[in-house]
Structure 1
């Protein structure tokens, strides 16, 4: 490491390629340091996201006027255009950090999945053993060894996957606010209606009882979740019947039914006529 006024540090600077910038997140620069007793940064703003991993020692972070003490194993992030300040909190052992400066349209969302937000830009005990092992990979490119763009891309996504692994997923946590879980459930149904779905399973995913789930869903959306799912399937089936040459059997499988007969029964119950009748009335007489 090179010696500077307040630290010993190595830096790595990247010029993101077109390939990197076509993705959701990319590395701009990185570094590692061992702080001297007088180490202090800021107050300042940066233009990207600066994710800092405390490998040893302790630090005091100040963001928006709020101080927080951080220790070995903690993580904090500097957000773009928000003033912050941090310094070593104790000289023994000296503060050691690895930092990754990132940009890209998915960076903030990935930080949230890792348990770090603008309101709480730090995470205690975030450096698990797998995360620590992953950070060892930074030694190569911070040290100046050539590294491929695919490898950099894989590294940053792998690191975030490890960070997310210790944070309960939103859908599995059961901590949705009422409006939040309902919105999530509607988006889930719209995305996966062509798959074999059970409303009971969906209620479990958002952490509420099926009865409560169905009651709130029907009261807010206007139909039961079962009817909402059926309507999504039937609307898509009508499009395929009207606009394509797919057979009725292919359409059945394409909208989430196990076979032609189950689809035909559901379709006739819902519309009052058969899929073939609708296709004929719609002017698609090719079948």
Structure 2
């Protein structure tokens, strides 16, 4: 590359049609005063300064950047950046698909008017850039290279968020411990409803007595944990019955009941119909 002392880049040969994918990534040492822009990109592009200095401009605001700092170029934004005339920077970069990019960047504290993370140099951050480059080297299985690179991209964003924790959304900090534990309980029930769950076990795993967790859970949701679990199981069973692909015994097992007769009694009590009758009911328009 012209105006660079050295320049390394790796491209993704197997992009997914949806989801988060690394487009390309690399490292470079530009010459003094080397400048890019004004320009716009259609993807998200992040740079982390390894050494030296430079400046980055976005939304009419100029940021002076040094080793450890990261600047983020959002899709459609007019930006410019240039190496310092005396101590030109060396940086690593990664470009990735703009998949839910506004929410994703907000998660790491990058929002309108705040597109630079000022931090100390971090070897773990640099390791993820290099892991992405290694993942995208020529391979017989480019689709696996894409998976590996996107995994390291997510780890990179996690590391950048830790470096930028002062800018993270206040809600993540101010949420009470019990609110977090109720959210965890809801996720647990939603994901593990097909297993033989015990509210005692869940409460102990979260460090609470069953009675206290149940009381706080009811206050937050209007249901006890067991009532919430029953609703999840019955709604899923109703969906499977309407699809008509599985037997009642198979559906019972799929929603956490080893006894199909007991499941049938529970379903009838919940819906007012036996599973065999419900499965023949016309679907709602």
Give the C-alpha shift of residue 99 in structure 1. Answer: 1.8
Runs of at least 5 residues in structure 2 that lack an aligned partner in the other structure: 163-167, 281-285
Which residue of the partner structure matches residue 157 of structure 1? 150
Does 1:278 pair with 2:279? no
Does 1:10 pair with 2:10? no
Change (3 A) 1:8 1:140: farther
Which residue of the partner structure matches residue 215 of structure 1? 219
Q: 1:112-164: per-residue Cα shift (whole Å, max 9, x none)?
A: 56x2534343334486434423434577799xx74553464145223224325
Alignment match of 1:72 (pick from 64, 67, 73): 67
Q: 1:98 & 1:228 partners in 2: Cα distance?
A: 48
Q: Tell me the TM-score normalised to structure 2 length.
A: 0.64
Give the C-alpha shift of residue 98 in structure 1. Answer: 1.7
Q: Contact (CA 8 Å) 2:28, 2:92: kept in 1 or not?
A: yes
Q: 1:55 & 1:283 partners in 2: Cα distance?
A: 62
Q: Tell me the TM-score normalised to structure 1 length.
A: 0.64
Does 1:44 pair with 2:39? yes
Does 1:246 pair with 2:247? yes
How many residues align? The count is 259
Give the C-alpha shift of residue 70 in structure 1. Answer: 3.1
Q: 1:163-212: per-residue Cα shift (whole Å, max 9, x none)?
A: 255457x9xx954769x9799986775555334375758988xxxx8444
C-alpha RMSD of matched pairs (Å): 4.7
Q: 2:254 & 2:37 partners in 1: Cα distance?
A: 57
Which residue of the partner structure matches residue 193 of structure 1? 193
Give the C-alpha shift of residue 55 in structure 1. Answer: 1.1
Runs of at least 5 residues in structure 1 that lack an aligned partner in the other structure: none
Q: 2:16 & 2:92 partners in 1: Cα distance?
A: 23
Which residue of the partner structure matches residue 101 of structure 1? 95
Secondary structure, aligned partner of 1:20: coil
Q: Which runs of 4+ in 1 moved over 6 A?
A: 138-142, 180-188, 201-204
Give the C-alpha shift of residue 13 in structure 1. Answer: 7.4
Which residue of the partner structure matches residue 129 of structure 1? 123
Which residue of the partner structure matches residue 91 of structure 1? 86
Secondary structure, aligned partner of 1:80: coil
Does 1:236 pair with 2:236? yes
